[in-house]
Amino acid sequence: MNESTGTICSMMTRLILRLRWLLVVYALSCAAVTLAQGSERDRPAAQRDFQGEGKSAAGNRSAQREKPKADLVKDAGEKTAAAADERLKLDRQIAEYNRQLAAYSLEVAKYAREVADVTFWLMLATVGIALAGVWQGFVLTRSIYLAREKFMASRRPKLILREAHVVENGAFADASYTISNIGDSAAEIVESAFFLEAFPRDKPSQKRPVSDARNDMGQRWIEAGESHTADFAVTPGRKTVRPPYKVAEGQALFFSGRIVYADYNGTRRTMSFYRRSEQDQFVRFSASDHLEYSD
């Protein structure tokens, strides 16, 4: 019994020693906590705030690391929706710009249409002015032509046989004549034919001479107030005979001719004459009045 009691006592002693060390450790822990709290109160507020922010950031990073996959998917969806909204906004802006461009294009087209209409009417006006100018030119040219015609009609050429003589050429007779222009403009000789024949003095041919497309005077112009003098000799042929200078008793030489002449406008006129020889001159006689002619 005494042994059991001694054993119990030794065990109790060891237990008390252990509890003592535990109490010492507990007391030291409480002291350390107290010192830490005191130093926390003694630190500046800014340092405490900085440490608090650091703890918060660390906590946030921890929280972000600890986010579940569902939150990450949600964030990605929100970013995709935001990008889609941005593209939609951009598309709307482009559509608005296109609408404004279309409206501006319509305005430009309307202005171009107005310019085209004005240009068309200006072209018509120009054509009208040109036609009016052509018509005025035609009227002016016509007026000038009519005035010239009137002037030329009032200032026409007029040819006459000024004088004619018998010219002795051996045994034959020739004629020397002078054609004068007593008009107010020049005359162009177009046709001319002369005849020198011997007939009974009181019974001439009584035939008006014809030019028959001949031009014994040649192609020439006789100006106003000018005269042309030349000799004419009959060319013997089948129907022509060169008359003698000394005709038989009761006969005479007859000199006749026809001249077609034109003015500057091409208007043609005719003159003819029929003269009988008296000594060495060819003169008019009463029976030849109807054979003398001048336009």
**For 60-86, what is the mean pLDDT?**
65
Above 70 in pLDDT, residue 101?
Answer: yes
Residue of 119, 129, 182, 136 whose CA lies nearest to 155: 182
152 vs 105, residue with greater confidence = 105
What pLDDT was estimated at residue 259?
95
What's the pTM?
0.52
Percent of the chain clearing pLDDT 90 (strictly above): 34
Between CA 164 and CA 49 the distance in angstroms is 156
Q: List the single range of 59-63, 89-93, 120-124, 221-225 with lowest mean pLDDT.
A: 59-63
Above 50 in pLDDT, residue 46?
Answer: no
144 vs 47, residue with greater confidence = 144
Above 50 in pLDDT, residue 225?
Answer: yes
Could you count the other beta carbons within 10 Å of the beta carbon of residue 40? 10
What pLDDT was estimated at residue 3?
52
Domain boundaries, the chain: 48-154, 159-294
- The residues that bridge with 230 in the sheet, in sequence order, are 177
**For 10-31, what is the mean pLDDT?**
64
Phi, psi for 37 (deg, rounded to 5):
-65, -40
Between CA 68 and CA 220 the distance in angstroms is 131
Q: List the single range of 16-25, 134-143, 178-187 with lowest mean pLDDT.
A: 16-25
**CATH code assigned to 159-294:** 2.60.40
Express each pLDDT in 197-218 by its tens digit.
Answer: 998 888 877 677 787 788 999 9
Express each pLDDT in 245-278 by its tens digit.
Answer: 988 888 999 999 999 999 988 889 999 999 999 9
What pLDDT was estimated at residue 10?
66
What pLDDT was estimated at residue 272?
92
Residue of 288, 225, 218 whose CA lies nearest to 255: 288
Could you count the other beta carbons within 10 Å of the beta carbon of residue 256? 25
Tokens of 134: 């052509």
**For 92-121, what is the mean pLDDT?**
88
Binned at pLDDT 50, 70 and 90, residue 15 comes out as low
DSSP string spanning 57-120? HHHHHHHHHT--HHHHHHHHHHHHHHHHHHHHHHHHHHHHHHHHHHHHHHHHHHHHHHHHHHHH
Express each pLDDT in 81-91 by its tens digit.
Answer: 788 888 888 88
Phi, psi for 254 (deg, rounded to 5):
-120, 125
The mean pLDDT value of the chain amounts to 80
What pLDDT was estimated at residue 50?
44
Express each pLDDT in 118-163 by its tens digit.
Answer: 899 999 999 999 999 999 999 999 899 888 777 767 788 999 999 9
What pLDDT was estimated at residue 177?
96
What pLDDT was estimated at residue 18?
63
Between CA 218 and CA 229 the distance in angstroms is 12
Percent of the chain clearing pLDDT 70 (strictly above): 72
